Structure formats: structure tokens, C-alpha cells
Structure 1
């Protein structure tokens, strides 16, 4: 039978996180140089869950050494590596290469320098609640669902726990602290799921600052 969620996470959970970091990125790791995708995974995981790196190294190496055989494939009791653009015959060596880089990073204490997110995965891993707001309320359908940007923000706020809105405010503060130029802020909003422009006359960073002000003020009377 297919893996239960518990067994999946115990055996492949962190392996899955590593592989997902390659969404839209080439798997061009070499023994001498980790890819942009793996560097992004290392940077974020060192900052948020450093203990998970050892688990990632173990799960990558175990999968490379013991790929699923025919019986497990037939029963569905395995983790299917998503397509990363490599021939099937190169996947095992690639997984070993990733495990080697992660082990080296941990043993040598080599942590990627802080920076703005470099990949789609890293943007969403670092700013999950902002991605929830932008992708859920500011898609291309927003003009058909809400009168304006403020109405969309009010709808998010009305249906979200105050702890989530506080987390959102913290993420926006962190994004603004990156001190990007306006072009890069526009790219960041797009990476996080926003498919409409900020309202006139706001720049991307100016609108983000407005979001902070709206969510740190008191709720209108009658709001939950």
C-alpha cells in the first residue's frame, strides 16, 4: 500500500524538502560546487532548522544507496523523485553529491552568507504567510473578486487569526529590511504569488509598508 504520511516524513520528509528546492532550478551540482538551489536550501535551513541538515544528509544517502526495487515500485511504498532534468541513471550519483555537500557544510560549519532569497523555493520557505496572502488574495482574479486592494486585505484580515496576521507583519518587515530596489521588490511580489500591480500611486515597497500599517492598526469596529 502507499506510504502513510507518518512513514513518508520519517523516511523521506527532509529529502523531499531538498528536492523541492530545485523547483525551476537546474540540478547542476558538481563535487566542487553546490548548485544555486542547494545553496538556497542550506542558507534557509541553517537559519531556521539547522538540526534538519543531518537528517537530510542521511535520507539522501540512504535513498541513493537503496533505491526502490520493483516490488516497492509496484506497491507504491516509495518516494518518487520529481523530474529534476537529469537522466534516470544519474539520479543516484546526484543524490550522493548533495549528501556530500550537506555533510561538508555541517562538519566544516560553512554557512551560506545571508542574502535575499535566490530561488522560488527559498522565497516561499522564508515568507510563507506573505505568500499565502499574495497568492490567495492577489491573483489575477482579484479585480473580479474584490472592489480594490484594500477590500482584499480586509477580507484576509477578517478570516485570519491574529497570530497569522502578526506573522505576516513580521515577514513584511523582514522583506523590507532587505532594502532591495523597486524592480527587485516587484520580482519578489511576483515570486510570492502576486499577479496584479500595487494600487496607484504606490511602489511595491510602498504598498508593503501600507500593508504593515493596516495590520498593525486596530481592527474596525465589528471585526472579529
Structure 2
């Protein structure tokens, strides 16, 4: 019987967030050097959810001290660590190394300096609504569904809660404020799910600015106003 969501979050919720940061990244943490994946988790979490770092350390250390057996894993009562490229015999030691890095970061205030996102996970953690937007409306199937690149934007605004549209607009402004070079913006858009090229004559940053203009002109439809009595 699978674990209920509340119990799962209490035991493994933040552990899962840490492990998710390793998707597509090497689990090459060393006692004196955290991996790029762990640095991305620390960098984002320190600046957005610093209060969960102690929870992450506790959950990871507890899990490492009490690794689940095959039976309990099959019953869904434990968190199954995804394949991170390490042999099963090395997972426990690796988890202890991660827990030690988290503990040191909290106790000694070792905060990675702010920077642009460095991993796929960090791009999506920092710009979640852009990821939803580009991944959902600008996949490689987009040219078969819409006549031009403004059409999916209008479809998005017509079918999305105005608060999410406002959140997307804010994230786009933040992304543009990073002041990246054009190849870096192209990479960011690909990391965030865009599978088509910006339309001519726009550069990647120019098209992002064009998006903010379209979204900035969006007006929510609240239905007919009150009639005069």
C-alpha cells in the first residue's frame, strides 16, 4: 500500500526535492566539495525557502541511517532513490555526504552566491511558470497547432487564470533582467521547454521582450458588468 501524501511529505518531501536536483547531473559530491547539482539546490533554496534546509538535512540523514529493504520499497512505504548513476552500495555514503554539506551550509552560513541558473532543475525551480508556458505551448508540435508564434500566447491568456498570467509576466521581466548574451537566452529558453525558434526577425531576448508586451496588454474578462437599475 503506497504511503499517503501527507506522511510522504513529512518523511521524504524535502529529500525528494534534493534528489530531483540531480536529474541529468552527476552525483559526484565529495566531503570537501559539493556537486554542481547540490550547489544549485543550495543556491536556489537559500534565497527562496531557507527554512527547509534543516528539514532536508534531517530527512536525508534519517533515510541514510535506516535504508529500506526490498519488501518495504515494494510496498511503497519508503522513498525509492532514483538512479543517480551510483552503484547501490555507494548510495548510503553519498547521502551522508549530502547531509554533511547541508548541515555545514546551515551552521556556518555557507551560502552560494547568486548567479544565473546552472542546471536544468535550477532553471525550472527559479522560473516555474515560464517552464509551464514554454513547455506547454511551444513544443515541437506547436507549428501544427497554431499558425504563428503569437497565437499560442493568445490561447494561453484565454485559458489561464489571470494570476498565473501575471506571474508569468513577472518571471519574464526577471529573466530579461539577468542581462544574458543571446546564446545564453537561447539556452535558457531551451532548458525551459521551448522547442521552436523565435520568429524572424526577433533575437531570443527580443522575442521574450515581445512576449512581455503582449502579456502586458492582457485584460482579464470578468464577464458583463452590473446593469443600471
Unaligned runs of 5+ in 1: none
- For residue 95 of structure 1, what is the aligned residue in structure 2? 95
Q: Is the 8 A contact 1:41 1:122 kept in 2?
A: yes
Relative distance call for 1:221 and 1:52 in structure 2 (3 A) is closer
For each residue in 1:37-96, what CA deviation from the matched residue of structure 2 results, as whole angstroms up to 9, or x when unmatched?
A: 000000000011000000000000000000112441242211100000001000000000
User: How many angstroms does 1:221 deviate by?
Assistant: 8.2
Distance in 1 (CA, whole Å) between partners of 2:22 and 2:74 is 27
Distance in 1 (CA, whole Å) between partners of 2:139 and 2:153 is 13
> Which aligned runs of 4 or more in structure 1 are off by greater than 6 angstroms?
220-224
User: 3-state DSSP class of the match of 1:173?
Assistant: helix
Distance in 1 (CA, whole Å) between partners of 2:36 and 2:68 is 28
- For residue 36 of structure 2, what is the aligned residue in structure 1? 36
Answer yes or no: is 1:47 the counterpart of 2:47.
yes
Give TM-score, length-normalised by structure 2: 0.95
Question: For the aligned residues, what is the CA RMSD?
Answer: 1.6
- For residue 165 of structure 1, what is the aligned residue in structure 2? 165
Report how many residues are paired.
Answer: 224
Give TM-score, length-normalised by structure 1: 0.97
Unaligned runs of 5+ in 2: 225-229
Answer yes or no: is 1:56 the counterpart of 2:62.
no
- For residue 25 of structure 1, what is the aligned residue in structure 2? 25
Distance in 2 (CA, whole Å) between partners of 1:166 and 1:32 is 42
Distance in 2 (CA, whole Å) between partners of 1:73 and 1:145 is 42
Q: Is the 8 A contact 1:127 1:171 kept in 2?
A: yes
- For residue 190 of structure 1, what is the aligned residue in structure 2? 190
Distance in 1 (CA, whole Å) between partners of 2:88 and 2:28 is 15
Q: Is the 8 A contact 1:158 1:223 kept in 2?
A: no
Distance in 1 (CA, whole Å) between partners of 2:223 and 2:168 is 18
- For residue 209 of structure 1, what is the aligned residue in structure 2? 209
Distance in 2 (CA, whole Å) between partners of 1:205 and 1:194 is 13
Relative distance call for 1:33 and 1:108 in structure 2 (3 A) is same
Relative distance call for 1:74 and 1:130 in structure 2 (3 A) is closer
- For residue 180 of structure 2, what is the aligned residue in structure 1? 180
Q: Is the 8 A contact 2:157 2:218 kept in 1?
A: no
User: 3-state DSSP class of the match of 1:163?
Assistant: helix
For each residue in 1:119-171, what CA deviation from the matched residue of structure 2 results, as whole angstroms up to 9, or x when unmatched?
A: 00000000000000100000000000111111010000101111101100111
- For residue 83 of structure 1, what is the aligned residue in structure 2? 83
User: 3-state DSSP class of the match of 2:101?
Assistant: helix
